[in-house]
Amino acid sequence: MLGTKDKNVGKIETRAALPRCVGIIMDGNRRWAKAHGLPTFEGHRRGYAKLKQLTVWAKEANVPYVIVYAFSTENWNRTKEEVGYLMGLFRIMMNDLLSNATTEKIRIIFLGEREQFSADLVESMQAVEEKTKKFTALTLGVALSYGGRKEILRAVQSLAPGEIANLDEETFGKKLWSKDFPDADMIVRTSGEQRISGFLTWQSVYSELFFTDTYWPAFSKKEFMSLMRQYGERKRRHGV
């Protein structure tokens, strides 16, 4: 049952209906800022603040795994100014995430091409992962410089010649950046776009998809819990 104190949010009546892993495409930061007459950077800042709220909601909903799409491989093509701001935000985020994760007992794992980032950011990612690896209240995956096709290619490139002949899906899954996560039971994309844009390409073959017009900074606990209930009402047949 959803352990929320907000009586207006509602509850799911069975644990069996709850997703084990939820993927979130946090889209709409820039459009939210524009709609409110604010700089693009403020949209990103508010988007990060929303991410911290999301971890609290997920814990209350008894969801053990969450993966968020924070920065795609294509996002490197944005303006130099915007990318620079985001790198600065990620640096602030590392310290803040660690502090928040320590308080909330959240394990954090970063998924993506780490070599694309500066050495100090890579070191920060490693430190956050190391210092939170024993926490079990929630496992949060943060996809940075992530692309689903690139993840699959990297996994293939990591295979030894002798592994290919008898390769199965379970073994291949252990080569992915998301090896510490189960496949996503549901994927939510905010902002009105109805595509998954390379997010969890391998892991989403049976994900239930949910699209909302709400921009990410405006996404609410009420809407999150509503989507949890909708997930519980769907019949998942997995091709049967």
Q: Annotated catalytic sites, by residue?
A: 27, 75
Residue 24 DSSP label: E
Largest CA-CA distance found in the chain, in angstroms, rounded: 57
Q: How far apart (Å, rounded) are the C-alpha atoms in residues 190 and 70?
A: 13
Q: How far apart (Å, rounded) are the C-alpha atoms in residues 149 and 168?
A: 18
**The tokens of 99 are what?**
């502090």
Query: Contact, 54 vs 96, CB < 8 A?
Result: no
CB proximity list for 58: less than 8 A, separation 6 or greater:
22, 66, 138
Question: For the chain, how many residues are written?
Answer: 240
Q: Which amino acid is at 218?
A: A
**The tokens of 228 are what?**
């949890």
Query: Contact, 70 vs 89, CB < 8 A?
Result: no
Q: Write out the E strands in 73-191.
A: 106-111, 138-146, 186-189
